[in-house]
Amino acid sequence: MEKQEHEALLKIARMAVEGAYSVYSRFSVGAAVLLENGEVVRGANQENMAYPSGLCAERVALFYACSTYPGVAVTGVAVAARDASGAWASITPCGACRQVMAEVIRRYGRDFDVILADGEGYKVVRASDLLPFPFGM
């Protein structure tokens, strides 16, 4: 992916934050997944009083993308978050989300960029670098 694609996907992830249900943590997260066919799928964290029944934004978006477009590889994932004050916050995926990303790499046989909001800016890493020792790999 190129810089302008990173920025466009991150913009969609920031918009996806609005769909978060984060009444317990007050930390709203949005994710956007870019697929090889050009489709973009959004997701937001969904919390539940019966913790840990909720789901992170990254997994919401990845599971939806992979179930809706099962034969189409992921080329990028962007993640953005707002804290309780409404300010953009730095974010990295949790361990479960990293393992799901590792499985997506395994499923489609290709790595992808992960664009992580860093307050107002962002950084880009490869999904495979987020979890060096995934299960089953």
Q: Write out the catalytic residue numbers.
A: 58
CB 60 within 8 Å of CB 10: no
Token readout for 59 is 């997994």
Query: Which residues are CB-contacts of 94 (< 8 A; sequence separation ≥ 6)?
Result: 56
Closest of 22, 45, 27 to residue 84, by C-alpha: 27
Residue type for 137, please?
M
